[in-house]
Chains A and B, each alone.
Chain A
Amino acid sequence: MDRNRTHRHAVTAEHQRKPLPAYGRELLELRRQGLVPERGFCNAHVIVCLDCWDIARNRCRLVVARDADPLSLDFMAVAGLDVLVAVNSTMSDQARRDATVRAILTGNPASLYELDARAPHQGRFIKSRALGIELQEFAA
Chain B
Amino acid sequence: MTTPVRAVRAAPEQQQAFAQAAGITPIPGFTVADLWGDYTPPQYLVKRLLGPGEVTVLFGQSGHFKSVIAVDLALCVASGREFHGVRTRKAGVLYVAGEGHGGLRKRLRAWLIAHEFNAASEQPALFVTDAGADLLGNPAQLRVTVEQAAKDLGLPIELVVIDTLAANFGAGDENHASDMAAAIGSAKRSALGAAVLLVHHTGHGAEARERGSYSLIAAADYRLCAAYDDVSQRVEVKFLKVKDDERPEPFAFTWRRVPLDWQDVDGEELTSVVIERVDASGESVARQSLGKNQALAYRVLQRLYGLRQRHEAQQGGREEDAIVLRGAWRTECEKAKLERNRFAEAVEALIEKGCIAVEGEQVRPLKARIG
The reply to whether A37 and B7 form a contact with Cβ atoms under 8 Å apart is yes
Interchain CB contact (< 8 A) of A59 among B1, B14, B137, B182:
B1
A24 to B, closest residue via Cβ:
B1
A76 and B22 contact, Cβ closer than 8 Å, known pairs A37-B7, A38-B7 = yes
> Is B17 on the interface with A (CB-CB < 8 A)?
yes
Q: CB-CB contacts of A1-38 with B at 8 A, as 1s and 0s?
A: 10101100100000000000001001110111011111
The reply to whether A61 and B14 form a contact with Cβ atoms under 8 Å apart is no
Residues of B within 8 A of A58 (CB): 2-3
The reply to whether A107 and B21 form a contact with Cβ atoms under 8 Å apart is yes
> Is B280 on the interface with A (CB-CB < 8 A)?
no
Q: How many B residues touch A, CB cutoff 8 Å?
A: 29
A56 to B, closest residue via Cβ:
B1
Q: CB-CB contacts of A41-71 with B at 8 A, as 1s and 0s?
A: 0000000000000000111110000000000
Residues of A within 8 A of B171 (CB): 1
A80 and B178 contact, Cβ closer than 8 Å, known pairs A31-B22, A34-B10 = no
> Is A108 on the interface with B (CB-CB < 8 A)?
yes
Counting chain A residues whose Cβ lies within 8 A of the other chain, the interface size class is: 20 to 34
A79 and B1 contact, Cβ closer than 8 Å, known pairs A35-B9, A37-B6 = no
The reply to whether A79 and B20 form a contact with Cβ atoms under 8 Å apart is yes
Task: Give Cα distance in the complex from A3 to B5, angstroms.
Answer: 33
The reply to whether B10 and A35 form a contact with Cβ atoms under 8 Å apart is yes
B residues 160-218 touching A (CB-CB < 8 Å): 170-172, 178-179, 182, 185
> Is A103 on the interface with B (CB-CB < 8 A)?
no
* Chain B facing A: main interface SS: mixed
The reply to whether A36 and B10 form a contact with Cβ atoms under 8 Å apart is yes
B residues 1-56 touching A (CB-CB < 8 Å): 1-3, 5-11, 13-18, 20-22
Which residue among B1, B8, B178 has the maximum number of chain A CB atoms within 10 Å of its CB? B1
In the assembled complex, how far is the CB of residue A49 from the closest CB belonging to chain B, in whole angstroms?
Answer: 10
> Is A110 on the interface with B (CB-CB < 8 A)?
yes
> Is B133 on the interface with A (CB-CB < 8 A)?
no
The reply to whether B18 and A38 form a contact with Cβ atoms under 8 Å apart is no
> Is B136 on the interface with A (CB-CB < 8 A)?
yes
A61 and B1 contact, Cβ closer than 8 Å, known pairs A31-B22, A76-B22 = yes
> Is A101 on the interface with B (CB-CB < 8 A)?
no
Which residue among A32, A34, A61 has the maximum number of chain B CB atoms within 10 Å of its CB? A34
The reply to whether A79 and B185 form a contact with Cβ atoms under 8 Å apart is no
A36 and B8 contact, Cβ closer than 8 Å, known pairs A1-B172, A6-B182 = yes
The reply to whether B1 and A108 form a contact with Cβ atoms under 8 Å apart is no
The reply to whether A80 and B15 form a contact with Cβ atoms under 8 Å apart is yes
Task: Please report the number of residue pairs spanning A and B whose Cβ atoms sit closer than 8 angstroms.
Answer: 80
Residues of B within 8 A of A79 (CB): 14, 17-18, 20-22
> Is A115 on the interface with B (CB-CB < 8 A)?
no
Task: Give Cα distance in the complex from A9 to B11, angstroms.
Answer: 33
> Is A85 on the interface with B (CB-CB < 8 A)?
no
A36 and B21 contact, Cβ closer than 8 Å, known pairs A1-B172, A26-B1 = no
> Is A77 on the interface with B (CB-CB < 8 A)?
yes
The reply to whether A6 and B21 form a contact with Cβ atoms under 8 Å apart is no
A57 and B3 contact, Cβ closer than 8 Å, known pairs A1-B179, A35-B8 = yes
A62 to B, closest residue via Cβ:
B1
Task: Give Cα distance in the complex from A81 to B22, angstroms.
Answer: 14
The reply to whether B7 and A81 form a contact with Cβ atoms under 8 Å apart is no
In the assembled complex, how far is the CB of residue B183 from the closest CB belonging to chain A, in whole angstroms?
Answer: 10
Residues of B within 8 A of A26 (CB): 1, 5
The reply to whether B1 and A23 form a contact with Cβ atoms under 8 Å apart is yes
The reply to whether A76 and B1 form a contact with Cβ atoms under 8 Å apart is no
Residues of B within 8 A of A5 (CB): 136, 182
Residues of A within 8 A of B22 (CB): 28, 31-32, 76, 79
The reply to whether A60 and B1 form a contact with Cβ atoms under 8 Å apart is yes
In the assembled complex, how far is the CB of residue B63 from the closest CB belonging to chain A, in whole angstroms?
Answer: 30
Residues of B within 8 A of A59 (CB): 1, 5
Q: CB-CB contacts of A73-85 with B at 8 A, as 1s and 0s?
A: 0001101110000
Chain B residues close to A by CB (< 8 Å): 1-3, 5-11, 13-18, 20-22, 136-137, 139, 170-172, 178-179, 182, 185
Shortest Cβ-Cβ A-B pairs, 4 listed: A80-B17, A79-B21, A80-B14, A76-B21
19 A–B contacts from the bound complex (CB under 8 Å): A1-B137, A1-B172, A3-B178, A6-B185, A9-B139, A26-B5, A31-B10, A32-B22, A35-B8, A35-B10, A37-B5, A37-B6, A38-B8, A60-B5, A76-B22, A79-B17, A80-B18, A108-B17, A110-B17
